[in-house]
Every structure is written in structure tokens, then in C-alpha cells.
Chain A
């Protein structure tokens, strides 16, 4: 158990809908990262938050947004869902933002868009 929790574990929804994925980092970790894992794209970085502020964006679509709250949990919002958004979404956390710091991954949320 990494100490990172993600809810829900599974999510099945229809095209055009909006969903929210939730992540709670390890106790004391200020950084939260979101990654998408799909068969065709592999593991792709989406976005990074540190202590409530957005620090970096990766291959994140405009239909997707995220935020980190004062209690440090984070939410990833996916809207106008398409079939291609079906994937495993991981949250990871680290203590701060220093180089070489390992990231601890949650169990993921499996999103299926029908």
C-alpha cells in the first residue's frame, strides 16, 4: 500500500458525460501528479500540482481540468467524454518537488466510456 488513495476504483459512463476522479496523497506529500495509462499511448503525464498551485501541464486535453484543494487532495475533471478517454488514470504524490524524488502511485481509477 503506497498510502495514495484514489476513488472510485472503476467508473463506467457514456460519451458526452462528465466525471470527477479523486486522489488523496500520502500524508505530508505536497505534490500531486496525474497520469493516464492507455494501450495505445502508454503512461502519459497529464498535470502536476504543488501545494495547491498548478506547476506543469503535459498532454492534457482542454476538456480535462484538475485542482488541488487546501487539504491537498486533488480532483481530475473529465468532460465531454469520448470513447478514446477510456483508460486507467493514476494519481501519484511526492513530498515536494526536488529532483530525484520518487513518486508514490495510487491504485488508479479505470474509466470506461461507452
Chain B
């Protein structure tokens, strides 16, 4: 079975500071990894995904994530936070084998302070 752990349910950063949201996964097969963002009262929007190939993945809005197999991690970063980045961020793993659904972490609420 696959699982995802997001460390820190709430993260606060100052505008212009580095954003680092942590995600660790568990999977018995090579994982497919995703980061989604959810703005208030909206659905989930894909930020980036890792399938195969390059381990550093660039996404929208200046975000990127690095797949580290040895650490079973897929942390999300952004060099300089913007007020508009305030949202909830979800890390997800899957599909795998015959299962096609995504397994989500519990989410990290990002607050950007002026």
C-alpha cells in the first residue's frame, strides 16, 4: 500500500523567503508523485508531477520539487514566497499497479506574512 506523510500541517514564511514543504512517501513500487495546491473554496490544481526521468521537476508559479529515492522524499520548494502563494498544498502518490487513484497526504497550510 502507498502512503504519504507531510511534515508540518502549518508553515509560515515571510514574503520573499524560501518556501519548503516536506513530503515523504511509502511505496513498494517506483512511485509517481504529485503536488497539488488548493486555494480557498476551490478545487485542487496540479503544481507539478514526477513520473520518470529527471529527478528535479519544475512546476507552475515558480515551484519545483526534487525526487530523492534514497530519502523517499519529494519536497516542494520555491525560492521566494509571494502573498498569492498562501494556500493549502497536498502531496500525492500513485497510481500504482491496478489501482489508479491518488493517495494524498494530510496537507500543509502555507501562510505568507507581509
Contact = CB atoms under 8 A, between A and B. Distances in A.
Contacts of B114: none
A108 interface: yes
A13 B102 CA distance: 29
Given A56-B100, A58-B101, A100-B95, 14 more contacts: A31-B100, A42-B105, A43-B107, A45-B101, A45-B102, A45-B103, A55-B100, A56-B99, A56-B101, A90-B43, A94-B100, A99-B32, A99-B96, A105-B36
A102 interface: yes
B89 to A, nearest CB: 12
Interface string B15-45: 0000000000000000010101000001111
A7 to B, nearest CB: 13
> How many of chain A's residues touch chain B, expressed as a range?
20 to 34
A39 B95 CA distance: 24
> How many of chain B's residues touch chain A, expressed as a range?
20 to 34
Nearest to B52: A100
Interface of B: 32, 34, 36, 42-46, 49, 51-52, 90, 95-96, 98-107
Interface in A65-93: 90, 92
A107 interface: yes
Interface of A: 2, 4, 31, 33, 42-43, 45, 48, 50, 55-56, 58, 90, 92, 94, 97, 99-108
